[in-house]
Structure 1
Amino acid sequence: MADASPDNPSALGRVPVEITISVGRAHPTVTELLSLERDAVLTLDRAIGDPVELFAGDRLIGRGELQEMEGDQAGRLAVRLTEVARTDESG
């Protein structure tokens, strides 16, 4: 099989992967969920400065900090990686 390192990108290495960023979870009751209206606020289980988690599918791949882009990307969110999860299958 061809080496898929950044120096030798194979066809597989060019396949885009969707990354999901988890900033926290809310735990409303069913009654609270059904009564949600515009401008309702759901309190999350994390603080603003807490790390966010990055997932590829359901696999945790890292953690990071939210930050706002500058320049021509001003106002867009980004994640600065602070930890990359181990990728070996042994744990």
Structure 2
Amino acid sequence: MTPKAGSQEASTPFTNVPIEITVSVGRARPLVRELLQLNEGSVLTLDKQLDDPVELFVGDKLIGIGVLEVMEGDGAGQLAVRLTEVVDLQTPA
């Protein structure tokens, strides 16, 4: 089945190309000497709390904000993000 003329899919052949979304849960800012001392079992303190919103990026572009959740049912235990804000991706920046 081909997309209808005028539909978004008809005008953009790339809509079926997968992309990678990075979810940023926080940042750590250790000193270089602390970074060099990291090993298995080391803990980095982040600048966020567990319940703080996370940011979603495609490359360097912020595309949304969300909250972390743990899936139930078929995906039980899988980490997920529930979107709370989405950037208007149709309008050029």
Q: Same fold (TM over 0.5)?
A: yes
* Over 4 Å off, 4+ runs: none
For 1:10 and 1:76, locate their aligned partners in 2 and report how far apart those are by CA, in whole Å.
32
- For structure 2, which runs of at least 5 residues remain unmatched after alignment? none
Q: Which residue in 1 is equivalent to 2:35?
A: 33
Partner of 2:15: 13
**TM-score normalised over the length of structure 1:** 0.85
CA offset digits 1:28-66 (Å, max 9, x no partner): 001000001111110000111110000011100000000
User: For structure 1, which segment, 25-34 or 81-90, has the greater mean C-alpha deviation from structure 2 after superposition?
Assistant: 81-90
Q: Which runs of 5+ in 1 are unaligned?
A: none
Higher deviation after alignment, 21-30 or 68-77: 68-77
Aligned length: 88
The separation in 1 between residues aligned to 2:6 and 2:58, in whole angstroms, is 23
Structure whose alpha-carbon radius of gyration is higher: 2
Do residues 3 (structure 1) and 4 (structure 2) align?
A: no
**Change over 3 Å in CA distance of 1:9–1:51 after alignment to 2:** farther
User: Match of 1:82?
Assistant: 84
Output the amino acid matched with 2:92: E
- The alignment yields a C-alpha RMSD, in angstroms, of 2.1
| Cα offset, 1:2, TM superposition | 5.6
